[in-house]
Amino acid sequence: MQHGVTRLGKPNMSALSEKDLASLAAAVSQLEHPSLAAKLAAAVGMPLEKLLTWLPPAIQKQVDRVTEEALTRALNVAVKTLNDETVKAPWNLSHKVVATLSGVTGGLFGAPALFAELPVTTVIIMRSIADIARSKGENLSDPAVQLACLEVFALGSAGKQEAMNSGRDEAQTGQESVRAAYFIARASMAQQVTAAAEMLTKGTASGSGTALTRLVSTIASRFGVAVSEKVAAQAVPIVGAIGGGLINALFMDHFQNTAEAHFCVRQLERAYGTESVQQEYERIAAKSHVR
């Protein structure tokens, strides 16, 4: 059911309830001000810049390769196993516990195990994201929703600087709104998501160079930033098994929070209309930007 729609069919921005405005403000805070890097640095007691020096070029190249493979595996699992069960509260804690145990294994056996652990952790995160999506009323049997779950890996990575750069001109000219990183990221993937969803619907998503392959590559290029930070934190010699578990718990928590925010926005879009929600989102983001 749509709320706040005029007789001309245009959503009325002022129709958002106070409760929904509060939910949207929380989503803006999560999506425009990601804190994963800071939390990882705090967990190992080392600045991010120093953490990343632990990653030589060869390791970074391996991160890029394994990240794309991990996302492909996660999507394959989603396509084959996600179903539209009765809507219920997501099992966030259970997924976090499993991810933590996976991180303990990676920390116990050192750097070589990190690349074996990453695909497992990515699949667990994908399952948790899908669980959250279902709790927000999404139909998991819809290929477009499965790809919206995959988008979370990009939305939770490397978006803050884009928002700052895109909003600089508006801020300098005194305009109230800024281009929000979240909507920039969604717009940049929109055509690829549409094409990939059509392929999944038709069952033709095989072969290299397809729309689906290109979408996964696009998401991997962003998700790889977060993975590099994670691998760098886990590669610190003093981290060990317990630290590896903590880092994985932080990693899972970050993408769960991103998923909650992403599917909250989508839920509001279904209720009020995309344009209305985007305008209100960017108004809230502008206020946050000037503080």
Which residues in 194-210 are b (16+ Cβ under 10 Å) and which e?
eebbebbeeeebeeeee
Residue at 166 is within a domain: no
Instruction: Report the pLDDT value the prediction gives residue 9, as an integer from 0 to 100.
Output: 44
Domain contains 113: yes
- Look at residue 138 and tell me whether its pLDDT is greater than 80: yes
Q: Measuring CA to CA, how many Å separate 229 from each of 104, 216, 232, 246?
A: 17, 20, 5, 14
Classify residue 88 by burial, with Cβ atoms within 10 Å: 0-12, 13-18, 19+: exposed
Spatial separation of the C-alpha atoms in residues 243 and 70, rounded to whole Å: 22
pTM here is 0.80
Q: Could you list the residue range(s) of the whole structural domain that residue 57 is in?
A: 14-158+181-270
Asked whether residue 2 is domain-assigned, the answer is no
Q: Is residue 176 domain-resident?
A: no
pLDDT at 98: 57
Mean pLDDT, range 182-186, rounded to an integer: 94
Instruction: Tell which phi-psi region holds residue 175, choosing left (phi > 0), alpha (psi between -120 and 50) or beta.
Output: beta
Look at residue 161 in the predicted model and tell me its pLDDT: 43
Query: Is it the case that residue 93 has pLDDT exceeding 50?
Result: yes
Nearest CA-CA partner of 181 in 254, 127, 261, 125: 261
Integer Rg of the chain from CA: 19
* Digit-coded pLDDT (tens) for 255-287: 999 999 999 999 999 999 999 999 999 999 988
Partner residues linked to 5 by β-bridges: 11
- Is the residue at 199 inside a domain? yes
Q: How many domains does the chain have?
A: 1
The whole-number pLDDT of residue 100 equals 55
Question: Can you give the pLDDT at residue 8?
Answer: 42
Would 89 be classed as within a structural domain? yes
Position 207 in a domain: yes
**CA-to-CA distance for 58 and 64, rounded, in angstroms?**
10
Average pLDDT over residues 173-198: 80
Q: Which pLDDT belongs to residue 166? A: 38
Place of tokens 């994908």: 126
Question: Which amino acid, residue 226?
Answer: A
State both tokens at 258. 């991103």
pLDDT in tens, 94-130: 555 555 555 555 545 455 667 777 888 899 899 889 9
